[in-house]
Chains A and B, each alone.
Chain A
Amino acid sequence: MSLSLVVFYLLGAVCLGGAVGVVVSRNVVHSALLLLVSLMGVAGLYLLLLAEFLALVQVLIYGGAITIIVLFVIMLTRVQEFRAMKDNPQWPLAVVAALAMFVLLAAAMIKGAPSETTRQSVSFEELGSSLFTQWAVPFEVASLVLLVALIGAIVIAREGGEE
């Protein structure tokens, strides 16, 4: 077994373990922190896929921004209410649906798997020039999306409402 495969299994265990923790944990703060663990595992996978920039973005956006926002909201709402909250009574159905989803996806992927085994790295220069030439218009639209989300979030969360 090659070293990269060992690293892959380790990172995969971190990702999936964290993810299972997120969906089964009773405590919402534990869930949020386990999500961070899982997402950092995903950042490791990006490194394994030679996507250094994406790994960096993953750590910055998810580790630095999203987890903080989630923890902020958990602390602004009442924590004890979260703790008492039970799962949906139909959770066995959810297990069945998730398992069916996994079997379907995995079967389709294994059936149609291309046999590529060499990884290629995209250099920072290549990524940047692609982003600002070929993908310039979607890039600008993404900035608009962020602006609209920002304004929308302020309007929705503002104290008072209509005046």
Chain B
Amino acid sequence: MSLIHFQVLSAALFSIGVYGVLARRSAVMVLLALELMLNAVNVNLIAFAAYGEQVQATGQVIAIFVITVAAAEVGLAMAIILRLFRDRASVDVDEVDLMKW
């Protein structure tokens, strides 16, 4: 087992997330796919931290920051989805075109 295993796994996870973000129409589903992509990034970061030439905490610390931002993002996005549902009775991302020119 070497670094490349984890790298290819994280690439696969990220690509599945890309598909989810592009293909789903429900805002909740898009958000779930986004979480997958963030996790793929974290796997990559921690794999590089574990297989690095010298022992250093940097990779894990940045992964902690990514998790923090992901938590903040989920909280905000869920608030926006709730508001959207209340105002428009829909969570279809295609129908949210108020700011589209």
Residues of A within 8 A of B (CB): 2, 4-5, 8, 12, 15-16, 19-20, 22-23, 28, 31-32, 35, 38-39, 42, 45-46, 48-51, 53-54, 57-58, 61-62, 65-66, 69-70, 72-74, 76-78, 81-82, 85-88, 90-91, 93-95, 97-99, 101-102, 105-106, 109-110, 113-122, 126-127, 130-131, 134-135, 138, 142, 145-146, 148-150, 152-154, 156-157
Contact = CB atoms under 8 A, between A and B. Distances in A.
Contacts of B15: 98-99, 101-102, 105
A85 B25 contact: yes
B94 to A, nearest CB: 8
Contacts of A114: 3, 51
19 contacts: A12-B9, A28-B26, A31-B29, A48-B1, A49-B46, A54-B46, A66-B70, A66-B74, A70-B78, A73-B28, A76-B82, A88-B23, A98-B15, A106-B8, A116-B52, A117-B51, A120-B50, A122-B55, A153-B78
Q: Which 4 pairs between the two chains have the least Cβ-Cβ distance? A: A149-B72, A94-B22, A23-B20, A98-B19
A73 B74 CA distance: 11
**Residue of B2, B8, B22, B53 most packed against chain A (CB within 10 A):** B22
